Amino acid sequence: MFFFRLTQDSVPATVNTDSSTSNRHAILLLAEAEKIVDSFFNVATELGVNLGTAVQRQKAIDEVVKNISHLKTHYRPLDFLRGLFIQVFEVSESNMNSIFITYNEKILAGDARNISFICVHDFIGERGGAALAKTLPEYSNLASLNLRASNIGAVGTILVAAALCNCQLLTSLDLGLCYIQDIGAKALAAKLPEYSHLAFLDLSHNFITDAGIRALAAALPHCPCLVSLDLSHNSFSFDGVVELFKALENCTSLSQIRLHWDSINDQCITFIAGVLPKLAHITSLDLDENPWMSHFFRNPAPLTALAKAVIEIEDTQGRKIEVKTRGNFDVILKQVREELHPQPVSSAPSSSYS
């Protein structure tokens, strides 16, 4: 959880040799570090946990200053910070975990405006999702919410989805790796039409099956601004693909769809090839890393049909579609195009001798 604010001034992209600028950066870094450590001390005090003396506090501040650039870029910044504090404070692991859980909730409740920075890649869980949901209605101008890998689960998704109805400017929602499952997908689907400006939706890595896809498919035509949809790494079957792509016929703005690492088989590819010409706005389709690719050379018919559909759309509608697969789809397109539009063989002019 990226639970503190790091400005461009706080962590400069390049080192400036000007002494006054360097001093200013040092002061800002120190202020950020003191804010983090003091907030942590306050939570520990509330929980009745003694973190030690002023010496240990200063040592913790020094460690945060030293490692603040790592905190900014680390995949799991909360775990990184916990590791630093475990080295500094002589506190049991259970007490340390309790402090961090409470700290997370307080930060979530106090700074939802920067939520795209503070919840990425950490397991805030259902409890953190509930705390976040309570504060979201206060920020009606929230434009982007990134909870990727926060593991808020189905319960957290239900609460967050309802709270987001008050955020009328929301354009981007990333719930990837949140373990929302079908229950969360259904709850989100029920609220999606109320997100009137939503353009980007990421629901990858969420164990969504046909039931969840069916609910989402019913809601998608009611999302007039949706441009990009990511359903990669889920668990739906051919039936889910049919439901999804039939719904996409009525999605007038959707141009990018990712089905990376889903259970897309030959039957799915053949169906997609048949319906693709009806999807008038699709320009990018990601089908990479799916089961059908393992036996493409044994049964090239589905992918060949998809290539023919892409060429037909190009020829009749003047619209190009980028299809991503593990193999080189451009090569297949070229081969199929040459078969459909063979170039006339020019005969060499005959030479005459007088």
Per-residue model confidence as pLDDT tens digits over 124-162: 778 778 878 887 887 788 888 888 888 889 999 999 999
Same domain? For 148 and 275 the reply is: yes
Can you tell me the distance from the alpha carbon of 246 to that of 7, in angstroms, rounded to the nearest whole number? 45
Same domain? For 227 and 276 the reply is: yes
Same domain? For 105 and 155 the reply is: no
Question: Helices marked H in the chain — which ranges?
Answer: 19-46, 54-73, 77-88, 93-110, 115-118, 125-135, 153-163, 181-191, 210-219, 238-248, 266-275, 301-317, 329-340
The rounded Cα 69 to chain-centroid distance in angstroms is 23
- Within 8 A by CB and 6+ apart from 207, the residues are 179, 180, 181, 182, 234, 235
Same domain? For 156 and 236 the reply is: yes
When divided into structural domains, the chain yields a total of 2
pLDDT, position 228: 94
Q: Is residue 354 part of a domain?
A: no
Same domain? For 48 and 185 the reply is: no
Burial of 226 by CB count in 10 Å (0-12 exposed, 13-18 middle, 19+ buried)?
buried
pLDDT, position 121: 44
Same domain? For 201 and 52 the reply is: no
Q: Is residue 26 part of a domain?
A: yes
Same domain? For 328 and 208 the reply is: yes
Q: Which residues of the chain have pLDDT under 70?
A: 1-29, 68-80, 104-123, 291-298, 326-328, 345-354
Q: Give the DSSP per-residue string, 158-179.
A: HHHHHHGGG-TT--EEE-TTS-
Same domain? For 45 and 126 the reply is: no
Burial of 263 by CB count in 10 Å (0-12 exposed, 13-18 middle, 19+ buried)?
middle
The residues facing 201 across adjacent strands are 173, 229
Domain boundary among 89, 110, 131: 110
pLDDT, position 4: 31
Q: Which domain holds residue 270?
A: 114-340
- Give me the CATH number covering residue 168: 3.80.10.10
Residue 341 DSSP class: S
Q: Is residue 79 part of a domain?
A: yes
Which of 49, 36, 155 is closest to 98 using CA atoms?
49
Same domain? For 85 and 199 the reply is: no
CA end-to-end span of the chain, whole Å? 89
pLDDT, position 337: 87
Q: Is residue 347 part of a domain?
A: no
Q: Is residue 281 part of a domain?
A: yes
Can you tell me the distance from the alpha carbon of 296 to that of 302, in angstroms, rounded to the nearest whole number? 8
Domain boundary among 75, 110, 145: 110
pLDDT, position 343: 76
Assigned token pair, 274: 């048949």
Q: Is residue 311 part of a domain?
A: yes
Same domain? For 105 and 34 the reply is: yes
Which of 143, 147, 145, 117 is closest to 129 using CA atoms?
147
pLDDT, position 119: 46
pLDDT, position 72: 54
Q: Is residue 331 part of a domain?
A: yes
Same domain? For 150 and 241 the reply is: yes
Domain boundary among 44, 78, 110: 110
Which of 252, 269, 241, 242 is closest to 325 using CA atoms?
269
Same domain? For 160 and 177 the reply is: yes
Angle at 177 between CA 94 and CA 158, to 5 degrees: 85
Q: Is residue 104 part of a domain?
A: yes
Residue 345 DSSP class: P
